[in-house]
Amino acid sequence: MELRAAALHALLETDPATKAQAVAALTAACQGGDVRIDTCIALVAPAGIPGRPVRPELVPPLQVGRRSMATPEGRAMLVHALAHIEFNAINLALDALWRFHGMPEQYYLDWLRVADEEALHFTMLSAHLATLGYAYGDFPGHDSLWEMVAKTSDDVMARMALVPRTLEARGLDAIPPLRKKIAQAGDLAAALILDRLLVDEVGHVEIGNRWYFSLCEERGLEPIATYDELTVRYKAPVLKGPFNIEGRRQAGFTEAELQRYR
């Protein structure tokens, strides 16, 4: 089995549970030594990327809707929104894995790890959503994360800069206050899931940072100036605080970058 081709096959899967199972099986096969990595072949993007179910309905972010977390429906909507983010995160990790050839083997192993952990997150959130009487797809979602994945399909450095370092890093800022609110609302099970998400997301952003800095060095580019240029070129969202400075530090942001967030 070849890792990148298998990742592309998993990316095309439309059923979320089956996709998560495929990622877990691919990870197990890789750990068992049954997978090889062809870093050189340039795979062709087929139709149907990314594979996803008919529901949830995709709407603009402002139309997703919110309810008070004091209500069961409001808590379910929040858990659904988190599950939707994690489902998209499986897809973005698989896309980073298959799409970009010519990277070191460790790059592909890193993104397999991300896909595996995102699949676990989605499975945990989906199971918790079921305890609230709902299923993934019962509420609408937005497509902002995948839109940036699509924009950066031409350059692995832009992908590392603007997906893990920008969009996923926003999760480092958002999870702690969200965890506090949902715990105060009495959903301790969801709060514990968020604890796990935060630990893993630090690692995912660190992977993006590490490969971004490596690519900047390889291309002879200054990382901060290059990042600023990429945010303009690809029309990345403007970052807004408050920022989780310690979480970002653990995820590999430099002190020079962190000064910009204070």
DSSP 167: I
pLDDT tens-digit map of 226-236:
999 999 999 99
Q: State the Cα–Cα distance between residues 172 and 206, nearest whole angstrom.
A: 11
Domain borders along the chain are 3-37+65-259
Give 120's pLDDT tier (boundaries 50, 70, 90).
very high
pLDDT recorded at residue 254 = 97
pLDDT recorded at residue 41 = 94
Q: State the Cα–Cα distance between residues 73 and 185, nearest whole angstrom.
A: 12
pLDDT tens-digit map of 124-150:
999 999 999 999 999 999 998 899 999
pLDDT recorded at residue 110 = 98
In this model, does residue 262 exceed pLDDT 90?
A: no
Q: Take residue 247 and report the two structure tokens written for it.
A: 């979480």
Q: State the Cα–Cα distance between residues 116 and 113, nearest whole angstrom.
A: 5
pLDDT recorded at residue 225 = 97
pLDDT tens-digit map of 55-105:
999 998 877 777 777 888 999 999 999 999 999 999 999 999 999 999 999
Selection from 49, 41, 171, 156 nearest residue 110 by Cα = 156
Rounded mean pLDDT of 170-192? 95
pLDDT recorded at residue 87 = 97
Q: Take residue 232 and report the two structure tokens written for it.
A: 């303009």
- Taking CA atoms, 15 is separated from 32, 187, 225, 237, in Å, by 26, 27, 40, 29
| Residue 117: burial class (beta carbons within 10 Å; 0-12, 13-18, 19+) | buried
pLDDT recorded at residue 197 = 97
pLDDT tens-digit map of 9-57:
999 999 999 999 999 999 999 999 999 999 999 999 999 999 999 999 9
Rounded mean pLDDT of 183-192? 94
pLDDT recorded at residue 71 = 87
Selection from 200, 102, 114, 104 nearest residue 155 by Cα = 102
Give 224's pLDDT tier (boundaries 50, 70, 90).
very high
pLDDT recorded at residue 53 = 97
pLDDT recorded at residue 60 = 87
pLDDT recorded at residue 75 = 93
pLDDT recorded at residue 57 = 92
Rounded mean pLDDT of 157-164? 98
